[in-house]
Structure 1
Amino acid sequence: MKALAYLFLLFAAPAMAQDLGNIEKSRIIDSISQKLKALYVYPEVAEQMSKQLHSNAEKGQYAKIKDPNAFADRLTTDLWAVCHDKHLGVHYDPRPVQDHPIMEDNVELARSRNFGFKELKILDGNIGYLNLSYFEATGKGGETATMAMNFLSNADALIIDLRMNGGGSTDMVQLLASYLFEGEPQPLTDIYWRPTNTLIQFKTLPYVQGKRMPHKDVYVLTSQNTFSAAEDFCYSLQNLKRITIIGETTGGGAHPVEEIAASDHFIISIPEGRSISTITKTDWEGTGVKPDVPVPAKDALLTAQLKALTKAPEDNFPAKWALMTIKAKLSPVTVSSDSLKVYTGTYGERKIFIENGQLYLEKTGGAKNHLIPMDKDLFSVEDKDYLRIKFVRKDAVITGFTRLFDDGTAEPGVKDIQ
């Protein structure tokens, strides 16, 4: 959580900086090197990074850098060239280190972000949808997590959107995962901590408040921005074959981070641990978590909806209704203006007409409604998700239409003879 917390602080930091002298830069490099060698998860890599920074300094590669932000960025780039670890980084803040607010103690800031629970709703076809922007520590976000998971418990399937989730706290990963299993605790991720040479094992919890959902299909959406704890959630549950991941390969950050002061104004994010799958004994560092269904991130939600709705029973009319909408969005139907002319005319108190190349329905004395093609002779009604228009043909001639409703009812209408 600390890496994410400091990211929030960086956005809030004043944008002012003073020129750095070469003596100060040398002290910062020495401090960073010492801390890396003492704490970085791979000691041999830490030694290589230290040598690289000192070699660059001796060659004068930092001599002309005066701006501290530019110096921090350059150090990060040089460290990445050795370790390729996206969790590691050097940050500058004009405030003295002791004056930094601590995000992990800032409940009000976390509350203003709703503890990461950005959006919660039931999609058409009774699919639960959770958009989680980050994994808050359960000490602050646990109550909200419980309410969210209980809200979703009556859905027929779940979609958890982690496409813009940059990470957070492992204990929230553990809590949310626990709602998806029953029975004996299931193994999630082990975390090795180099400073203490210890291994912490995470499993699903034996007790959660409210309903568990062990048998619901769960679809997790990912992108290249999905990172850290969000990848932990994906990797653990994918290895347990509990979820279907849809989207893009994730960012590839598997090393838990600690924020360490390198000087009065420079802070280094040091990956001190390593996440390890209890099942595979591997991690996703540098490679990311690969989706089960690879699609561009922008198409992941519709793809997940399509998969969930396709599995609904044949007699589940709301699901089948929603399925047609999703199919139409994924494969839009286009009809030329000339082809639309066949539908125009008067149908009792309603008329169908073309305006600016688009088809419209208008009831006498009412507003006009844009008709959007879904399939052959089938149109949805814009802003009226509960209604569709199905035109009736006889010998290639339109003779009427049927107004279809999302409750399964239908109202036929005959086209007036011209």
Structure 2
Amino acid sequence: MRVSLIAILAASVSAFPLIAQAAAPAPAAGAVSPATPAAAPVTAGEGRAVALKLADELVATFVFRQQADAYAAMLRKNAAAGRYDSGTRSDVAKRMTDDLLAVHKDGHLHVMVAEPEEQGGGNGGLPKDFPPLIQSAKWIAPGIAYIRPTAFMSTDEEIADVQKFMSEHSSAKTIIFDLRNHHGGRLGEMDVIFPYLFAKKTPLVRMQMARSIYDKFGSPFGEAPSLEFVKDAEHITATHYASPGADTPLRKSTVLLLVSNKTASAGEHFSLAMKSSGRATLIGEATAGANHFGGPAPLNDHFAVWMPVGRTFDIKTGKDWEGDGVAPDIQADPKQALVVALEKAGLSHDEAVRLDATEVPAEPVHSDKLRAR
């Protein structure tokens, strides 16, 4: 890659989370405006050159070398056959993505057209019509705190809002994290939340990538104090820890986590950390199954790839959640998960149903801007 992975992650081709996860499929052909770069036809030889460049980048940086070799062989064969020589750039990006996922499914890997950056106006560079990063944060009932984030983008504003929520609700007997529409992000918000919930230093999950990639591009998840790194000749492994903060009633509170198959990336990281540590009860359905972290990288002036370079896994089992998701502790229709949680917190069914009707998660209009982990 010609550009540092860290630089790309910080100022990406499109607005993507640092440790991103699963997203909606690429738009259908013809769904973009003819005025956009995505609607322009590929130039002579462009699709073939992009495919060959992508094949090389996969072999050099993809999280699993054997899968990378299979992806690369397919791309080179298809490029030679002229499969990527026609259509709009949007068509070709989708065609390449579909071909990649037909070889091996990956919740993050996809080819995209490098559109001009949209002005997000305070949402960490996300589109203007993206829902607020925190959709709701309040006392939903006496003694029950409730927060519903859309993503963890680690903007100064979002981190301050999460800190304010945790501080102002530190006396809660039950705290509900509604991640049913959480589309990924970074670690910053988690590192604000965890000190309130843990009474002792606790290892949560591990993240691993090839040492060669780390030495070349650096750490895609930063060097936060909550991370402890172990480096050997082949890998770098970071353990994500929760360290206790001030002693508040939240250390002993009941923690309920609402999840769905739209809960992705950093949302799944948070879910696994809370489940594996035994600190929360997960309610809903299995999460999106987008595990591999990484970031966007350019292929030419018009195409880029979201490249997975490492994986996050359970410290106890060594398993990650790619493809399978994080399983809930209590299986429930995600649309009823808040009702179940409120009943578990001691409310009557009727009161739980009444409160649930006031808390409807908003969907991102451009959910393809966040790619599954």
TM range (shorter): 0.7 to 0.9
TM-score normalised by structure 2 residue count: 0.74
Kindly tell me: are residues 327 and 251 of structure 1, through their superposed partners in 2, closer, same or farther at Cα, counting changes over 3 Å?
closer
Residues 258 and 338 in structure 2, CA contact (< 8 A), matched pair in contact too: yes
Deviation at residue 86 of structure 1 after TM alignment: 1.2
**Deviation for aligned residue 1:200:** 1.6
Change (3 A) 1:286 1:264: same
Q: Deviations over 1:125-154 (max 9, x none)?
A: 431110011112265533222101112222
Read off the aligned partner of 2:188 and give its amino acid letter.
D
Aligned length: 309
1:294 is matched by which residue type in structure 2?
A: Q
Equivalent position of 1:200 in the other structure = 238
How far, CA to CA, are the matches of 1:138 and 1:21 in structure 2?
Answer: 38
Q: How does 1:25-44 map to 2 (within 5 A)?
A: 25-44=47-66
Within 1, Cα distance between the matches of 2:353 and 2:16?
Answer: 43
Distance change (3 Å), C-alpha of 1:329 and 1:18: closer
Closer, same or farther: CA 140–115 of 1 in aligned 2, 3 Å: farther
Instruction: Tell me whether 1:72 sits opposite 2:93 in the alignment.
Output: yes
* C-alpha displacement of 1:201: 1.6
C-alpha displacement at 1:253, in angstroms?
1.0
Q: Secondary structure at the match of 1:159?
A: strand
Report the AA paired with residue 76 of structure 1: T
Distance in 2 between residues matched to 1:145 and 1:298, nearest whole Å: 24
Work out whether 1:52 is the aligned partner of 2:68. no
C-alpha contact 1:189 1:236 (8 A) present in aligned 2 = yes
- Describe the shift of the 1:114–1:85 C-alpha distance in structure 2 as closer, same or farther (beyond 3 A): closer
Q: In the alignment, does 2:16 pair up with 1:6?
A: yes
SS class of match (1:74) = helix
User: What residue ranges of structure 2 are gaps of 5+ in the alignment?
Assistant: 1-8, 18-22, 215-234, 356-373
Paired residue type of 2:350: T
* TM norm structure 1: 0.67
Does the C-alpha gap of structure 1 residues 137 and 215 become closer, same or farther in structure 2, counting only changes over 3 Å? same
Contact 1:128/1:158 (<8 A) preserved = yes
Change (3 A) 1:144 1:115: farther
Within-5 A mapping of 1:79-90: 79-90=100-111
Give the Å deviation of 1:15.
Answer: 3.2
Q: Using the alignment, how far apart are the partners of 1:51 and 1:223 within structure 2?
A: 35
Matches of 2:161 and 2:126 in 1, distance apart? Answer: 11
Matches of 1:190 and 1:243, distance apart in 2:
18
**Identity, % of aligned pairs?**
26
1:213 — aligned with what?
250
Q: Secondary structure at the match of 2:68?
A: helix
Once residues 240 and 223 of structure 1 are traced to their aligned partners in structure 2, the CA distance between those partners, rounded to angstroms, is 20
2: CA distance, partners of 1:102 / 1:81: 34
TM-superposed CA distance for 1:325, in Å, is 2.4
Structure 1 or 2: larger strand share?
1
Q: Structure 2 CA distance, aligned partners of 1:328 and 1:135?
A: 28
Which whole-Å deviations, capped at 9, do the CAs of 1:220-265 have from their partners, x for residues lacking one?
Answer: 1111100011001111110111111111111001111211001101
TM-aligned CA deviation for residue 172 of structure 1: 2.5
Higher relative contact order (CA 8 A, sep 6+): 2
Aligned-partner Cα distance in 1 for 2:296–2:119: 11
Superposed displacement of residue 81, structure 1: 1.4
Distance 1:127 1:42, change over 3 A: same
| Letter of the structure 2 residue corresponding to residue 46 of structure 1 | A
Is 1:169 the counterpart of 2:186? The answer is yes
The two structures, once aligned, show a CA RMSD in angstroms of 3.2
- Tell me the residue number matched to 2:311: 274
Q: Distance in 2 between matches of 1:42 and 1:142?
A: 33
